[in-house]
């Protein structure tokens, strides 16, 4: 949370304006130890916009080449299917994987060479949200990550590489108020930056003690300018932005601005329009499964940095619907949500 203050009518003084730092919230390691043995390690630290993260499945995208599996970590099962071999968690609902969380996977292949391929992780994610009002604005959603990883290959690759590979996903949650937008003696807006599309609450105070809600704001990744026709000085000369939720939440679903108490975060429940879903890979393609009512309309969305990167609408024909995703067209990491259209 950053404060911007206006001293007199000329000088803008921002506090806590340190350079934003990217922090890893999910890591993946892959290692080849010889004789066809591959070792994988996944670590989850979580990010501020997530109330909880549970890793639910793991496996290189093409995994029919495993001929032997090492010790399976407690809480996990190894699934051996005709189309895919992968590890799957025994309990997939949120909150039980205390962060930092680590999972290890070991398997052997008859192929004794390795190359850089792709491993897919799926995650049960509960987004950050608010308390003391309905409907809830966050949903229990599914995340996926196509992580680069060492995988078996039949022939030695042309370009040799080390037998260890590390990669991660990072976040930058800092909200930085860069300056105020001035119109003569009046303050008519703010300029701020944030790493992802999100919904914020602008608050103001005359004394740094009594904060008042001014407006909800939708922000995009990068630099943003928000302006209004009203002089913000009527609420005070000090300002801050509070993170409300991932993506652009409908303002009509948010608490009235005149609520007497500040907003408090809590673990989310499913909103009235959002529906549960599961994600899985089949024949090297990512798919989602949702429970549906025949004749009703649904939409599946994939978000990248809070912005919809892909969506598809459908009319349900059965009580369960599987929706294939265009795996090759999607970002390496995304958050998937399913919604009933009303």
Question: How confident is the model over 250-273, as a mean pLDDT?
Answer: 63
- Render pLDDT for 107-150 as a digit per residue (tens, 0 to 9): 999 999 999 999 999 998 888 776 554 444 566 789 999 999 99
The pLDDT assigned to 261 comes to 47
The pLDDT assigned to 40 comes to 98
Q: Is the pLDDT of residue 251 over 90?
A: no
Q: Is the pLDDT of residue 265 over 60?
A: no
* Cβ neighbour number for residue 105 with a 10 Å cutoff: 23
Lowest average pLDDT, out of 88-92, 175-179, 255-259, 301-305, goes to: 255-259
- Render pLDDT for 9-33 as a digit per residue (tens, 0 to 9): 222 333 333 445 788 999 999 999 9
Q: What is the pTM of this model?
A: 0.84
H-run or E-run covering 85:
strand 85-89
- Give the separation between CA 8 and CA 22, rounded to whole angstroms: 35
The pLDDT assigned to 63 comes to 59
**Please, which residues bridge with residue 39 across strands?**
31, 106
The pLDDT assigned to 62 comes to 66
- Render pLDDT for 154-194 as a digit per residue (tens, 0 to 9): 888 767 889 999 999 998 878 889 999 999 999 999 999 99
The pLDDT assigned to 95 comes to 63
Among 93-102, 111-120, 252-261, 270-279, which range has the highest average pLDDT? 111-120
Q: Cβ(54)–Cβ(141) under 8 Å?
A: no
The pLDDT assigned to 8 comes to 26
The pLDDT assigned to 203 comes to 94
Confidence bin at 281 (pLDDT 50/70/90): confident
The pLDDT assigned to 60 comes to 86
Say if residue 284 is exposed, middle or buried (CB neighbours under 10 Å; 0-12, 13-18, 19+): middle
Q: Is the pLDDT of residue 238 over 90?
A: yes
Q: Is the pLDDT of residue 268 over 70?
A: no
Average model confidence (pLDDT) across the chain: 84
- Render pLDDT for 37-73 as a digit per residue (tens, 0 to 9): 999 999 999 888 888 889 999 998 765 678 899 999 9
Lowest average pLDDT, out of 168-177, 239-248, 254-263, goes to: 254-263
The alpha carbon dihedral of 93, 321, 306, 24 has a sign of: positive
- Give the separation between CA 335 and CA 7, rounded to whole angstroms: 42
Percent of the chain's residues with pLDDT above 90:
58
Q: Cβ(320)–Cβ(278) under 8 Å?
A: no
Question: How confident is the model over 238-246, as a mean pLDDT?
Answer: 91
Distance set, CA 253 to CA 244, 276, 317 (Å): 12, 20, 30
- Give the separation between CA 61 and CA 119, rounded to whole angstroms: 5
Mind listing the domains of the chain with CATH numbers? 23-171 (2.60.40), 173-265 (no CATH), 274-341 (2.60.40)
The pLDDT assigned to 260 comes to 53
More confident residue, 225 or 270: 225
């Amino acid at each position: 949370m950053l404060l911007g203050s206006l001293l007199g009518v000329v000088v803008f003084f921002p506090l806590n304006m340190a350079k934003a730092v990217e922090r890893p919230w999910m890591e993946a390691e892959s290692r080849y130890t010889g004789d066809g043995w591959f070792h994988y390690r996944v670590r989850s630290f979580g990010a501020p916009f997530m109330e909880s993260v549970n890793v639910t499945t793991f496996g290189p995208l093409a995994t029919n080449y495993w001929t032997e599996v090492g010790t399976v970590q407690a809480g996990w099962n190894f699934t051996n299917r005709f189309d895919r071999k992968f590890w799957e968690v025994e309990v997939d609902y949120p909150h039980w994987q205390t962060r930092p969380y680590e999972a290890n996977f070991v398997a052997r292949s008859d192929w004794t060479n390795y190359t850089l391929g792709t491993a897919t992780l799926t995650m049960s994610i509960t987004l950050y949200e608010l308390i003391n009002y309905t409907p809830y604005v966050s949903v229990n959603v599914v995340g996926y990550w196509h992580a680069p990883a060492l995988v078996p290959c039949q022939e030695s690759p042309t370009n040799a590489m080390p037998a260890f590979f590390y990669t991660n996903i990072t976040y930058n949650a800092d909200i930085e108020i860069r300056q105020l937008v001035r119109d003569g003696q009046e303050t008519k807006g703010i300029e701020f930056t944030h790493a992802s599309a999100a919904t914020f609450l602008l608050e103001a105070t005359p004394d740094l003690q009594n904060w008042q809600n001014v407006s909800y704001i939708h922000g995009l990744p990068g630099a943003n300018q928000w302006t209004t026709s009203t002089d913000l000085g009527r609420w005070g000369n000090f300002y801050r932005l509070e993170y409300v939720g991932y993506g652009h939440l409908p303002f009509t679903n948010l608490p009235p601005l005149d609520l007497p108490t500040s907003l408090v975060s809590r673990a989310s429940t499913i909103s009235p329009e959002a529906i549960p879903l599961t994600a899985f890979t089949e024949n090297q393609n990512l798919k989602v499964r949702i429970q549906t009512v025949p004749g009703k309309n649904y939409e599946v969305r994939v978000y990248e940095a809070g912005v919809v990167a892909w969506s598809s609408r459908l009319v349900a024909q059965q009580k369960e619907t599987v929706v294939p995703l265009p795996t090759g067209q999607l970002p390496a990491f995304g958050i998937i949500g399913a919604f009933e259209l009303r």
